[in-house]
């Protein structure tokens, strides 16, 4: 079994760490990639091919995990070469997923839920061939939602509407508290009502959002473009907050 990656960032690296099997060969390419990605590839147990076209042709499962902005183009460029399963893990809207479906024969609409670098993220999948990923349950929990392409992207988008907007609010309120020299006390009093893990989870959420501001903004953009924007006052404010 050969699993190929287009995009070699946090998602791909962590999947390789989780899926440990002598029967699976991982492949990718460094074609036009940044020094950071090339370093990621060097640090991982993955075979490097000259081009992504070759990766697509050779993979039984081709995983697209690059960025919401490049997901569609990647499918247009390489989808036609993928004769096995094409698993898209980008945080994209159902509209984008449906467009990708036009360029790919055996699309599985997927999303990693839970922290990608944790030991137990869950892979949500939808599509006619989604059940075929069940063999991965040995390494990572697979949750098949339905046969309908778009269902997982929609679930993920609904989840992001809440989590990404909340992250922007956390950044704003903790910055305010810090300005008054009361940041730790701010987390203390919220922990009283929000639960023991609130401080740790919030700080991780804030750091994660600030470290990937560009990607988080792209994801908020997808939400605004998909839903009726009149219903999204808070999401729009979150995007404005992250753009500052
Ligand atoms: N991180 C998470 O927790 C998480 C969870 C669920 C879903 N996702 C989604 O999964 C995707 C990947 O996330 P990530 O955290 O792994 O991102 P990341 O760490 O920023 O890595 C992105 C990777 O994709 C590569 N890439 C970008 N455009 C490309 C293209 N056109 N062709 C080939 N490679 C390309 C980048 O290479 P360069 O460095 O050369 O640009 C980099 O290797 C995103 O769509 C994200 O929304 C992320």
Q: What is the pLDDT of residues 182-211, one digit of tens each?
A: 999 999 999 999 999 999 999 999 999 999
Of 96, 92, 66, 85, the residue nearest 134 (C-alpha) = 85
**Ligand 1 in reach of 77 Cβ (< 6 A):** no
pLDDT tens string 109-129: 999 998 888 888 999 999 999
Q: Which residue has the tokens 């499918």?
A: 75
Task: Report the residue count for the chain.
Answer: 244
**Ligand 1 in reach of 70 Cβ (< 6 A):** yes
Minimum CA distance residue for ligand 1 atom 34: 7
This prediction's pTM? 0.85
**Ligand 1 in reach of 33 Cβ (< 6 A):** yes
Minimum CA distance residue for ligand 1 atom 31: 70
The stretches in the chain having pLDDT less than 50 are none
Q: Which atom of ligand 1 is nearest to the CA of 74?
A: 31
Domains of the chain: 2-147 (3.40.50.720), 154-243 (1.10.1040.10)
pLDDT recorded at residue 78: 98
Q: Which residue has the tokens 């030991």?
A: 119
pLDDT recorded at residue 68: 87
**Ligand 1 in reach of 146 Cβ (< 6 A):** no
CA diameter of the chain: 58
CA dihedral 212, 213, 215, 218 (to 10 degrees): 170
Query: How far is C-alpha 126 from the geometric centre of its chain's CA atoms?
Result: 15
pLDDT recorded at residue 170: 96
DSSP conformational letter for 125? E
Measured in Å, residue 7 CA sits from the centre of ligand 1 at 5
CA distance 236 to 225: 11
User: Residue 198 in 3-state DSSP?
Assistant: helix
Of 71, 67, 68, the residue nearest 79 (C-alpha) = 71
């Amino acid at each position: 079994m050969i699993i190929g990656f287009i995009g070699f960032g946090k998602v791909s690296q962590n999947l390789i760490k989780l899926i440990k099997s002598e029967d699976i060969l991982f492949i990718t390419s460094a074609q036009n990639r940044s020094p950071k990605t090339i370093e990621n590839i060097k640090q991982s147990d993955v075979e490097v091919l000259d081009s992504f076209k070759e990766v697509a042709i050779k993979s039984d499962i081709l995983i697209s995990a690059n960025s919401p902005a490049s997901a569609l183009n990647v499918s247009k460029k390489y989808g036609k070469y993928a004769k096995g399963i094409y698993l898209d893990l980008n945080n994209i809207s159902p509209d984008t997923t449906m467009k990708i479906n036009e360029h790919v024969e055996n699309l599985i609409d997927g999303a990693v839920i839970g922290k990608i670098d944790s030991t137990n993220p869950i892979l949500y999948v939808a599509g006619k061939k989604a059940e075929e990923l069940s063999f991965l349950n040995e390494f990572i929990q697979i949750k098949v939602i339905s046969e309908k392409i778009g269902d997982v992207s929609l679930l993920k988008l609904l989840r992001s509407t809440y989590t990404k907007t909340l992250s922007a609010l956390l950044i704003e309120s903790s910055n305010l508290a810090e300005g008054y020299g009361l940041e730790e006390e701010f987390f203390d009093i919220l922990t009283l009502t929000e639960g023991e893990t609130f401080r740790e989870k919030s700080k991780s959420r804030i750091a994660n959002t600030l470290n990937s501001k560009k990607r988080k903004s792209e994801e908020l953009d997808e939400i605004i473009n998909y839903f009726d924007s009149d219903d999204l006052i808070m999401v729009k404010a979150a995007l404005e907050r992250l753009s500052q």
